[in-house]
Amino acid sequence: MRSFLGRFSNIFPHPIRLHHPTASDTHLEPPSKATGVPWLMPPPPFLRPPTFLPALSHSTKRGVSLRFLPLAITAFTTFFGSMSCKSGSSGRGAALSDGRGQGVAAASIHNAASYSQSDAGGSSSPIAPGRALCLNHSAGSDIGTIKRLIPALTHTARKGQMGRVGLLGGSADFTGAPFYAGMAGLKVGGDLCYIFTAEEASGPLKAYSPELMVTPVYSAKSLGVGFAGDLEGEEDGSSDAARSAEHKAKEKQVARMVQRVTPFFPKLHVLVVGPGLGRDPWIMEATRRILVEAKTHALPLVIDADGLWLVAHSPEILQDYPEGDDGGGVVVTPNLIEFARLQAGLTGASVAEATPPAVPFQHTDVIAVAKALGGKAGRVTVCLKGREDIVADRERWLVVTEEGARRRSGGLGDILAGTTGVLLHWSHLAMQEQAHGGAVKAERSERGSEGKGAQSGEESTCQIDPRDRVLWACAGASLIARRASRRAFEEHRRSMTAPDVLAHLGPVLEELSPTDIKEP
Ligand SMILES: NC(=O)C1=CN([C@@H]2O[C@H](COP(=O)(O)OP(=O)(O)OC[C@H]3O[C@@H](n4cnc5c(N)ncnc54)[C@H](O)[C@@H]3O)[C@@H](O)[C@H]2O)[C@@H](O)CC1
Ligand SMILES: Nc1ncnc2c1ncn2[C@@H]1O[C@H](COP(=O)(O)OP(=O)(O)OP(=O)(O)O)[C@@H](O)[C@H]1O
């Protein structure tokens, strides 16, 4: 896997103007600094057993558990009856908690694994010094730059101006992921969210929230996807002719799915692809065709989760993806495993067997993947999620070190994907505003935020280089999602789940860019 780097060793330019190399530029080992919240610091190892409650560290991974199964089962039998497990158990095990006993067992399995993991504290600056793209390297001015991306709310705005986000995702199995991504887009401040999903998912999604406009674009049942798809490939005794007829029927449904999604393209500012989509080959094929169409429209994309599974298997799909009038190109938001899969796909290694390397990924890895995915002329920006988020395009990069939550519950990546979609559009608006400076600036100076920000040293006086605006959009989304996660964690601790983070998006946005304006 590391030999992958060698192939791209000549394409790593200095990431930024005025970049001051530091030791951590080349190695993203998590800092060892403690969090500063004394009672949350991990207790010495000898104090941890016999509680088996995991310390929630920044290196916790979702659902990492089974290596310690025997130990966990012992813990379960010891502590069942003495532990109350009313609030959410940690990690994927929580999904098993139909009854009290199962919930405790699942939590114990995860706890045992976490017990072996080391902890690391957060760093104080939200964006690593020396890695910012602004001329001024102070963290305050980095936040100021992100604030510039957040559009003012005026009385003259029209519905839709702040963002019309499409989302291709959700399936019979996963209805939470598109919900979290879509709602994040709205809660951050996007105006409209269209979800394209399975018929089987659309009912639940509409019931979760009437704010989401949900269009069913295929039937999981008739396509044999999801639950029914489990039977696919089994010998069913049907003849070749019957199988060929079934194949044709499915081909037709795939074509219909494409036809149902693509007419929405002209009204969308961005399409988020992947959360909860599933990896059924027919759905992957339909998604591939939809991406090909999106390319002809130069529709800005955010690709996450199962969308990345497709990209890892067909990395050529994003080659030379154009920047349209709205710019943006493609943003991919992999977690560590998804990033390792992208690397595998690009090198022709097995995608399914990819695992993250023992040493942490570096910004050079991220730049290499961004460049390789985009090909000669494509604009692909990668946001690698992790202990710190590394954002890079083919030549520049930055790292967001804003402290996040120590809970790794499902759905936080979906929230980032939806947030990124809106920030991507906002960065386009900000560029327009920057180009037509005067009038909009005057309107902005009416806002209560201006004075406050200036006092705290967070206002940015520098212009955003248009080439960097997607990086800033990704950094902004990362900062917002991580800050909201941290706030939700401070409030809910071990019971923090994705909806708690959604609830904190608004307050974080308000803090960054207060909405009160003086009436003319
Ligand atoms: N409530 C829902 O509906 C949710 C649905 N989700 C969807 O579930 C589907 C499958 O996603 P998965 O993430 O499970 O699939 P993956 O195959 O990408 O991940 C499989 C497993 O890898 C492990 N893993 C994840 N991140 C890791 C890391 N950084 N380092 C080491 N191991 C790691 C976890 O155990 C995870 O369960 C996607 O469509 C996704 O969008 C998730 O978004 C979570 C929430
Ligand atoms: N160790 C960590 N410490 C703090 N924040 C983290 C850590 N790892 C990831 N994050 C943040 O959590 C969010 C989700 O990242 P994660 O890697 O869990 O995504 P994911 O696996 O795609 O999520 P999902 O459950 O939606 O599929 C991102 O905003 C990321 O910055």
Cβ of residue 287 lying under 6 Å from some atom of ligand 1: no
- One domain for residues 243 and 276: yes
User: What is the predicted pLDDT for the residue at 491?
Assistant: 98
Distance 334 CA to ligand 1 centre (A): 11
User: What is the predicted pLDDT for the residue at 120?
Assistant: 33
Of the two residues 342 and 48, the one the predictor is more confident about is 342
pLDDT at 505 over 70: yes
* Gap between the Cα atoms of 460 and 434, Å rounded: 13
pLDDT at 402 over 80: yes
Where among 83, 115, 147 does a domain terminate?
115
Residue-wise pLDDT for 207-262, tens only, equals 999 999 999 999 999 898 854 334 445 556 678 888 888 899 999 999 999 999 99
User: What is the predicted pLDDT for the residue at 53?
Assistant: 58
* Gap between the Cα atoms of 54 and 113, Å rounded: 8
Three-state DSSP class for residue 303: strand
- One domain for residues 80 and 151: no
- One domain for residues 88 and 210: no
CA-64 nearest atom, ligand 1: 35
- One domain for residues 94 and 147: no
Where among 100, 115, 130 does a domain terminate?
115
Where among 48, 83, 115 does a domain terminate?
115
Domain span at residue 281 reads 139-231+238-512
- For residue 353, the ligand closest to its alpha carbon is 1
ipTM more than 0.95? yes
Q: State the distance between the two ends of the chain, measured CA to CA, in whole angstroms.
A: 60
- One domain for residues 154 and 109: no
Asked whether residue 408 is marked as a ligand-binding residue, the answer is: yes
- One domain for residues 221 and 110: no
> Is-contact 483 127, C-beta < 8 A?
no
Residue 29 falls inside a structural domain: no
Residue-wise pLDDT for 335-394, tens only, equals 999 999 999 999 999 999 999 999 999 999 999 999 999 999 888 999 999 999 999 999
Residue 32 falls inside a structural domain: no
User: What is the predicted pLDDT for the residue at 111?
Assistant: 25
Cβ of residue 58 lying under 6 Å from some atom of ligand 2: yes
Residue-wise pLDDT for 282-340, tens only, equals 999 999 999 999 999 999 999 999 999 999 999 999 999 988 766 679 999 999 999 99
Tell me the pLDDT band of 520, cut-offs 50, 70 and 90.
Answer: low
- One domain for residues 404 and 350: yes
Residue 253 falls inside a structural domain: yes
User: What is the predicted pLDDT for the residue at 126?
Assistant: 55
Residue 517 falls inside a structural domain: no
Asked whether residue 414 is marked as a ligand-binding residue, the answer is: yes
Asked whether residue 510 is marked as a ligand-binding residue, the answer is: no
Q: Which amino acid residue places its CA nearest to atom 23 of ligand 2?
A: 413
Sheet strands side by side (includes 270-273): 212-218, 192-198, 164-168, 270-273, 301-303, 330-332, 380-384, 389-392, 397-400
CA-275 nearest atom, ligand 1: 41
Residue-wise pLDDT for 111-150, tens only, equals 222 212 223 333 444 554 334 443 333 455 788 889 999 9
Cβ of residue 276 lying under 6 Å from some atom of ligand 1: yes
Q: Which of 422, 413, 415, 417 is nearest to 164 (CA)?
A: 422
- One domain for residues 102 and 176: no
Which DSSP category does 357 fall into?
-
Q: Which of 274, 283, 334, 284 is nearest to 313 (CA)?
A: 284
Residue 132 falls inside a structural domain: no
Cβ of residue 176 lying under 6 Å from some atom of ligand 1: yes
- For residue 208, the ligand closest to its alpha carbon is 1
Asked whether residue 388 is marked as a ligand-binding residue, the answer is: yes
Cβ of residue 413 lying under 6 Å from some atom of ligand 2: yes
Three-state DSSP class for residue 290: helix
> What is the rounded average pLDDT of the residues 57-77?
45
Tally of domains in the chain: 2
At 301, which CATH number? 3.40.1190.20
* Gap between the Cα atoms of 310 and 288, Å rounded: 7
Task: Indicate the average pLDDT of the chain.
Answer: 75
Residue 189 falls inside a structural domain: yes
User: What is the predicted pLDDT for the residue at 60?
Assistant: 58
Per the DSSP assignment, residues forming a β-bridge with 215 are 196
Residue 340 falls inside a structural domain: yes
User: What is the predicted pLDDT for the residue at 86?
Assistant: 31
- One domain for residues 266 and 342: yes
- One domain for residues 383 and 261: yes
Q: Which of 368, 393, 404, 388 is nearest to 490 (CA)?
A: 404
- SS (HEC) of 142-169: HHHHHHHHCCCCCCCCCCCCCCEEEEEC
Residue 188 falls inside a structural domain: yes
- One domain for residues 111 and 188: no
> What is the rounded average pLDDT of the residues 437-448?
44
- One domain for residues 111 and 146: no
pLDDT at 166 over 90: yes
Distance 391 CA to ligand 2 centre (A): 14
